[in-house]
Each structure stands twice: as C-alpha cells, then as structure tokens.
C-alpha cells in the first residue's frame, strides 16, 4: 500500500454469541479507496465482521475505528450520520418485502436526497440496469429468484453511491456469467467513484480479479492479508489449502 | 425438598415481568421522542390508520351489535323481576359507553391488528429488514413503531364510538322489537342517564388501549428471534400480553376516573 490510510480498522475485536467464540482478537485494516475481499470458511464469522464495521453488532472487547474514530461510544444520532456514508448488501439481501423492487432501490434516495420523482426514477432505472434488472422494478421481492433478490439488494446498496460499500457475498448463487458481470460492476464502481469496498466472497477467482487486498479469516482471526499475488504465493499451509479448495490439510473440514 | 424453590421461581417470573415492563416503557419513551422530531411520515400513519381503523370496522360492528343485544336480553331478564324494564336502555348504553365499548373493541383490534403488528415487525427482524433500516440510517422506531402507535391511539376511540352506537342499536332492536319495551321510554332513559362524560371517559380509555396494543405488538415484533417459529411466538405473546394489560389498565383507569 502506498499510503497506510485505513478508513476502517478493527483492533483486537472479540465477539462471542453465548458460549461460542466467533471473533477471537481479530484485527483488520481496510485501506481507503480500495477493494478488500474477505475470504474464509462458511460459519467462520465473515458476516459478523461486516456487521461490526457498520455498528450493527458491538464487540465484546476491542475497537472498531472509522476514520480513526472509535464507533463504540457514538450515540444513535452520530451513528446514524456515520451510516449515511455506508451502503450494505446483506447476505440474504434483506429487501423490504412490503415494497416493489423499484421502491426498495428508491428508498435510500427518498430518505437521504432531495431528488424529485423524475430524478429518482432516472437513478433507480440506471442502477437496476447496472445489475441486469431492467424491467423488473414493479415486481415484489417475493416474486424474484434468489439471484435476482441479491442483485436488487446490490442496486439498493449502491443507489446513493456511498463512500464505503459492504458486500456480503454479492456473487453467491449467481450463474457464472452474472458472477463475472457483478464482479466487473464492483470493480468499475470502485474505479469510477474511488470508493472503498469490502467484499465477502467464496469465489477465489473473482477475488483475484477485483481485490486490492485479500484477507483470510480463520478461527476468529485474520491470518493473512495482502495483495492477491501475496496471498496466492503465501507459504501459510492454511491459506494454501483454502485457496486451492482441498479437503486435505491443516484445516479440519468436517 | 428445597422450600425456597417456589419462591425463587416466583421471583424470577416477577423479575422477568418487571424487566419487560421496563423495556416497553423505554420503547414508549423513544416513540414519544420521535414524535417530536421530523420527518413525520404521514403516509405511513395513514396506511396504518386504514389498517387499524377501516379494516377493523366489520369486526367492531359485529361485536358491538351482539354485545348490545345480549346485554339487553340479560338486563331485561333481571330488571323485569322488579318492574324496571324502562331502565334497560340506559343500562345497556352506560355499560357500553363506559366499559364494554372500549374494552371489547380493544380486545378485538388486538387480535386483528396487534397480532399483525407483531408478525410484521417480527418478520422484518428475523429477515434483517430492521438491520437494513439501521444501515440506511433510518431509525426503525420512527419508521415502524411511531406510525403504528399513532394510528392506533387515534383509531381506537373512533372504533369505540362505532361500537357504542351499534351496540345501543343492538340493544334497541332486542329491547324494543323483541321484548316490547316502549321505544320512547327506551330512548328517553338513555338521554336522561348517560352523560357525555361517560362517553368521553370511555373514549379516553380506548385511546390508552390503542397505545397498549400497538406498543406491545411492536415490542414483541421488535425483539423477535429464531425464524418463523419466533415470529409465531412473538405474535401469540403479543396478543396475550396486550389483552391482559388492557384488562388490568381498564381496572386501574376505571378506579381512578369514576
Ligand atoms: N445474531 C447471532 N446470534 C447468535 N449466533 C450468531 C449470530 N450471528 C452469527 N452467529 C454465529 O456466528 C458464527 C459466524 O456467523 P457468520 O454469519 O458471520 O458466518 P459467515 O462467515 O458469514 O458464514 P457464511 O459464509 O456461511 O455466510 C456462526 O456460527 C453463527 O451461528
Ligand atoms: Mg455470511
């Protein structure tokens, strides 16, 4: 990294749910204006990391810093202000099921801009086009396929073109062509707007394609973080086993 | 045999009850704070008013009519023993205005709308839609709870007026047409004995009941966990807790007001 300018930083974060320890002193720094991809096993705590970054989950111990400021002591109002800088795609999209796809994507615009109806329509149609959902705006979320829901959630997350976007598995459940299209969309959006993106992915090839930094989560910690090349060449046996998808190795799969 | 066991268990139930009461009061406080802070989402309030009010009209009318009718039958049965049939109308009207109108309406709306609030908000909780609101910097108390509470507080008194009116009509039909009480006397005694104050106090109760059923419904929904089963649990608990609270509040309010 040219400049060690971290927009989000997790320091020694511990988080347990009941007796289950999910994050065990995890530290991770997300460079500004770059794409960071987090990889790791299913159930390992990747979604939990993302929710820490936006203050949906509070750490038991440790700090979450955004622009160098600890977000733990923030009151509701300041946290709200902070969240206006974020967009987030949830793993299950979390679309509002009482609204059409169009209204879902329009929601952040109606809440946080003064756009008139024409402008809103224009922006929503543009975003729906970007994720290949042109013409599906009037459907209800329950009428969409899983992959379509995910893409609608993606359109909603990028609608305001926020400074930081968190993507929880944007390509899981999409066909290979759509996977490539979405990976390109993330990369292009980042290039064009210079935003910061944090992407969770199980798609290693996609990660190589879009990431500036790849971080691997294992047993509640980030065990390796670096450029795609550095990760590919890593001599850590755990990382090697994971990126090559082998059942044999230091990670006990079952 | 441990003799303190039952005490312990009872203590835990009481503690849990107090804790819950505290949390509900906290939600009420937040709701009231958001009432003072724009943006006011009139569109959402109107939508809830339609849901709580207009869509509860049928059940309110049916409940009111049958209650008034059966109450006339019962009082006639008792009053005719000492020749006080002329007071059936005013007794029915007073009971409806002060007690039966607000309470029965509130219980019916709890079953219809309070349960739906818990289910709706609960589903939004377990499918992360509430988290999505937070992420999009929209406060869910302001977006989900406030419109429901406002609408319920406004609509319950209106529904109660309907229940009172239809109930008296029901009493009239049974008393005058079935039991042969003189129509003029039936009406005259109602006018003589029912104060506007009786009606107003009933409507005040109704507003409080609206607050209770919506707040409890939203509260149970808001703290739902555990998927579809959790939503089912939240819905049942909301109806039970709201109904019991309404009956308890009814006693307290009546004792204070009359
Ligand atoms: N709200 C919660 N309450 C209790 N346990 C939770 C909660 N959220 C997450 N967990 C637990 O934390 C662990 C990590 O969950 P998380 O969703 O972060 O996994 P993940 O790495 O995103 O997995 P996947 O790749 O399958 O999405 C899981 O074991 C899960 O059961
Ligand atoms: Mg996940």
Say which DSSP state A13 is in: E
Q: Which of A58, A81, A84, A90 to mutate to test the interface with B (most CBs of B within 10 A)?
A: A90
CA distance B127 to chain A (A): 6
How much is the pLDDT for B1? 57
Return the bridge partners of A40, or none: A217
| Buried b / exposed e along A136-164 (16+ C-beta atoms within 10 A) | bbeeebeebeebbbbbbbbbbbbbbebbb
The answer to whether residue A16 scores a pLDDT higher than 80 is yes
Q: From chain B, pick out residues whose CB is under 8 angstroms from the CB of A55.
A: 134
How distant, in Å, are the alpha carbons of A60, A61, B252 from that of A7? 22, 20, 55
Residue A1 has pLDDT above 50, yes or no: no
B57, B162 Cβ separation under 8 angstroms: yes
Q: A134-143 pLDDT, tens per residue?
A: 999 999 999 9
Q: Which two tokens stand for residue B147?
A: 């419109």
Q: What is the mean pLDDT of residues A201-221?
A: 95
Per-window interface: B 102-161 vs A, CB < 8 A? 120, 123-124, 127-129, 131-132, 134-139
User: Could you tell me if B23 lies within 8 Å of chain A, comparing CB atoms?
Assistant: no
Chain B stretch 75-104, residues whose beta carbon is closer than 8 A to a beta carbon of chain A: none
Domain ranges of chain B: 39-257
* pLDDT tens digits for range B115-163: 999 999 999 999 999 999 999 999 999 999 999 999 999 999 999 999 9
d(CA A96, CA B132): 9
Name residues with Cβ closer than 5 Å to ligand 2, which is an ion.
Answer: A 47, 91
Percent of chain B with pLDDT over 90: 88
Given a contact cutoff of 8 angstroms between Cβ atoms, the answer to whether A10 and A49 are in contact is yes
Chain B: nearest CA to A30, how far in angstroms? 19
Whether residue A96 and residue B129 make contact (CB cut-off 8 A), yes or no, is yes
Residue ranges around ligand 1 (CB below 6 Å): A 17, 22, 40, 42-48, 91
Angstrom distance (rounded) from CA B68 to CA B186: 13
ipTM, 2 dp? 0.93
A2 pLDDT more than 50: no
Task: Average the pLDDT over A51-64 and give the result.
Answer: 96
Residue nearest ligand 1's atom 3 by CA: A17
Cα within 13 Å of Cα(A118), Cβ side: 0
| A3 burial via Cβ count (<10 Å: 0-12, 13-18, 19+) | exposed
Question: What is the model's pLDDT at position B100?
Answer: 95
Nearest Cα residue in chain A from B127: A94
What was the pLDDT predicted at A254? Answer: 79
Q: Which domains does chain A have, with CATH numbers?
A: 1-85+163-254 (3.40.50.300), 93-161 (no CATH)
pLDDT value at residue A127: 96
Residue A235 DSSP label: -
Using the structure block, give the residue that is written with the tokens 């329009």.
A106
Instruction: Dump pLDDT digits (tens) for A86-108.
Output: 999 999 999 999 999 999 999 99
Locate tokens 């309070």: which residue?
A: B114
Whether the per-residue pLDDT at B61 is higher than 70: the answer is yes
> For residues B71 and B69, what is the distance between their CA atoms, to the nearest angstrom?
5
DSSP reduced 3-state for A230: helix
Distance (Å) from the C-alpha of residue A53 to the closest C-alpha of chain B? 11
B50 touches chain A (CB under 8 A): no
A94 CA → ligand 2 middle, Å: 13
Helix (H, G, I), strand (E, B) or coil at B224: coil
Cα-flanking dihedrals φ and ψ of residue B195, to 5°? -80, 150
A3 pLDDT higher than 50: no
Give me ligand 2 centre to Cα A45, in Å: 7
**What is the dihedral sign for C-alpha A59, A61, A67, A71?**
positive
Whether the predicted pLDDT of A253 surpasses 90: no
Contacts of A90 in chain B (CB under 8 A): 128, 131-132
pLDDT tens across A156-194, in order? 999 999 999 999 999 998 999 999 999 999 999 999 999
């Amino acid at each position: 990294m040219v400049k060690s300018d971290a927009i989000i930083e997790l320091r020694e974060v511990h988080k347990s749910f009941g007796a289950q320890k999910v994050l065990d002193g995890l530290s991770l720094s997300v460079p500004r204006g770059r794409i960071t991809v987090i990889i790791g096993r299913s159930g390992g705590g990747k979604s939990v990391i993302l929710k820490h970054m936006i203050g949906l989950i509070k750490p038991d111990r440790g700090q979450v810093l955004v622009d160098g400021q600890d977000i733990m002591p923030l009151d509701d109002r300041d946290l709200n202000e902070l969240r206006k800088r974020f967009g987030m795609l949830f793993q299950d999209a979390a679309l509002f099921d009482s609204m059409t796809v169009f209204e879902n994507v329009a929601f952040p615009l109606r809440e946080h801009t003064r756009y008139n109806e024409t402008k809103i329509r224009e922006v929503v149609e543009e975003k729906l086009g970007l994720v290949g959902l042109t013409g599906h705006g009037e459907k209800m979320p329950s009428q969409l396929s899983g992959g379509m829901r995910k893409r609608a959630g993606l359109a909603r997350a990028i609608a305001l073109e926020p400074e930081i976007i968190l993507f929880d598995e944007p390509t899981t459940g999409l066909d290979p062509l759509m996977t490539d299209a979405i990976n390109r969309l993330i990369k292009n959006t980042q290039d064009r707007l210079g935003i910061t993106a944090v992407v969770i992915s199980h798609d290693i090839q996609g990660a190589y394609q879009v990431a500036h930094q790849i971080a691997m989560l294992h047993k509640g910690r980030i065990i390796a973080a670096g450029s795609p090349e550095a990760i590919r060449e890593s001599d850590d046996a755990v990382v090697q086993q994971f990126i090559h998808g082998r059942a044999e190795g230091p990670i006990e799969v079952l | 045999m441990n003799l303190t066991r039952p005490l312990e268990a009872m203590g835990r139930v009481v503690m849990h009850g107090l804790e819950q009461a505290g949390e509900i009061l906290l939600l009420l406080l937040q709701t009231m704070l958001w009432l003072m802070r724009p943006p006011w989402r009139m569109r959402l309030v109107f939508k809830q008013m339609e849901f709580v009010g207009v869509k509860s009209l049928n059940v309110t009318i049916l409940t009111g009519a049958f209650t008034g009718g059966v109450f006339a039958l019962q009082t006639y049965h008792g009053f005719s023993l000492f020749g006080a049939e002329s007071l059936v109308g005013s007794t029915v009207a007073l009971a409806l205005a002060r007690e039966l109108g607000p309470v029965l309406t509130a219980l019916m709306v709890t079953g219809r709308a309070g349960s739906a609030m818990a289910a709706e908000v609960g589903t939004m909780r377990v499918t992360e839609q509430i988290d999505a609101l937070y992420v999009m910097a929209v406060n869910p108390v302001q977006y989900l709870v406030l419109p429901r509470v406002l609408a319920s507080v406004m609509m319950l008194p209106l529904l109660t007026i309907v229940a009172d009116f239809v109930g008296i009509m029901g009493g009239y039909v049974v008393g005058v047409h079935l039991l042969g009480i003189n129509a003029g006397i039936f009406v005259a005694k109602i006018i003589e004995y029912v104060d506007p104050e009786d009606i107003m106090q009933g409507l005040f109760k109704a507003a409080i009941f609206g607050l209770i059923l919506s707040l409890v419904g939203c509260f149970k929904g808001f703290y739902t966990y555990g998927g579809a089963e959790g939503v089912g649990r939240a819905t049942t608990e909301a109806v039970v807790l709201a109904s019991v609270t309404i009956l308890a509040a009814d006693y307290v309010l009546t004792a204070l007001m009359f």
